[in-house]
Amino acid sequence: MTSLQHNDALSETKASAPDEPVPQEPLRVISYGGGVQSTALLVLAATGEIDYRTLLFSNVGDDSENPASLRYIHEFAAPYARRHGLSLVHLQKVRRDGTTETLWQRLHRPDTRSIPIPVRMSNGAPGRRNCTADFKIKVISKWLKQHGATADHPATVGIGISVDEIHRANRRRSEPHEQISYPLLDLELRREDCARIIKDAGLPVPPKSSCFFCPFRTVGDWQRQRSDDPALFKKSQQLETVINARRAALGRDAVYLTRYGVPLGDAIRETFDEGDGDASCDSGWCMT
C-alpha cells in the first residue's frame, strides 16, 4: 500500500513579542480507525462542525489491518483530508532500535509466550488483550507527548463512538496528558447517522476496521472473509495454528479465533448467523 500522508503539522502559534514565550494552541486530534464512526468525524471536521484539524491513524501493520480498510484510507480518506486542509497522520509502532513492529510480527515471534490478541479460551471467553494498548493507545500517546501534550496542557483526543455504542465510552482510560472526547455522543449521532454523513460527503461508506484476524470479529465477518477472500482466511487459520503449536509446546490448552471451541475452519463451516452480535473492542480505539 502506498504510504499515507506523513505531515504531522501542529496548530499555528500566535504572534508574540520577541521577549515573550510563544503560546501554543492545545492539541486537538481525532483517533482515526478507518471505520464508519471515525470517518464521520473526518467529514464533520472537514465541514467545520467539530473543531479538529489533525487525525491520527495508528496502523498496527499493513500485514495485520483489514486490507479493505487500508485501501479505503489510501483511496478515499487521505485524499479527502488533503482536499479539506486536514492532516491525516500515519503512525506505526517503533521499537527502541528505530525499526517498526507490526502485530502480525509480534504474534509470530518465537520467543513470545503471551498472546496480545483476545483469543478465545475453550469455554469461549476472551483472553487477555494487549494489542490495542501496545499498537494504538501507546503509539498515539507517544506522538502526543512528542508534540507538546503534558498533564498541565493535555491534548483533546476525539474518539468515534456513536450513541448506539455508548457502552464503549470510557473516559477513565485516558492518559494524564490526554482528555478524551466523544463528539458523536455530544451530537447524539448513531451509526446510521454516521453512514448518512459519509454518503452526503460523496464518499463510500467504509468497511468495519479491525485486524483481519481479530477474535472479536463476528461470525458473519468470518463467513464473508472465507467466501470473499479465501487467501486471507487461510492466513487467519495459519495464525491460529501457530499460536496453538506454541501453546502446546508450553503445555497449555488450545485457544481459538472464535468462541466455538474448535478450529476456525470448522467453526465457520458449521456455524453462520448474519444476526450474530458484535462484541467489538471496548476501548474505543479499535473498530471505529
Kindly indicate the confidence band of residue 175, based on its pLDDT and cuts at 50, 70 and 90. confident
For CATH 3.40.50.620, the residue range(s) in the chain are 28-208
Mean pLDDT of 205-211: 93
- The per-residue pLDDT for 72 is 98
Mean pLDDT of 14-35: 67
Residue 15: pLDDT over 80: no
Arithmetic mean of pLDDT over the chain: 86
- The per-residue pLDDT for 259 is 92
How far is residue 159's CA from residue 179's CA, in Å, rounded to a whole number?
11
Per the document, the length of the chain is 288
Kindly indicate the confidence band of residue 13, based on its pLDDT and cuts at 50, 70 and 90. very low
Residue percentage of the chain with pLDDT more than 90: 73
- The per-residue pLDDT for 6 is 44
Longest dimension (CA), the chain: 73
Name the H helices within 84-218.
103-108, 131-132, 138-146, 183-186, 191-200
How far is residue 38's CA from residue 40's CA, in Å, rounded to a whole number?
5
CA distances, 264 to each of 129, 220, 237 (Å): 19, 13, 6
Residue 11: pLDDT over 80: no
Mean pLDDT of 173-194: 92
Residue 62 CB neighbours (<10 A): 13
Instruction: Annotate 11-38 with DSSP letters as a single string.
Output: PPPPP--TTS----PPPEEEE--SSHHH
Instruction: Give the residue with greater pLDDT, 14 vs 209.
Output: 209
Residue 172: pLDDT over 80: no
Kindly indicate the confidence band of residue 171, based on its pLDDT and cuts at 50, 70 and 90. low
- The per-residue pLDDT for 74 is 97
Kindly indicate the confidence band of residue 275, based on its pLDDT and cuts at 50, 70 and 90. low
Residue 1: pLDDT over 80: no
Residue 270: pLDDT over 70: no
- 28-208: CATH topology is Rossmann fold (3.40.50)
Kindly indicate the confidence band of residue 268, based on its pLDDT and cuts at 50, 70 and 90. very high
CA distances, 171 to each of 51, 161, 175, 282 (Å): 19, 12, 10, 12
- The per-residue pLDDT for 282 is 41
How far is residue 71's CA from residue 132's CA, in Å, rounded to a whole number?
21
Kindly indicate the confidence band of residue 25, based on its pLDDT and cuts at 50, 70 and 90. confident
Kindly indicate the confidence band of residue 273, based on its pLDDT and cuts at 50, 70 and 90. low
pLDDT tens digits along 91-118:
999 999 999 999 999 999 988 888 999 9
- The per-residue pLDDT for 231 is 96
- The per-residue pLDDT for 284 is 46
Q: Which three cell numbers stand for residue 282?
A: 471496548
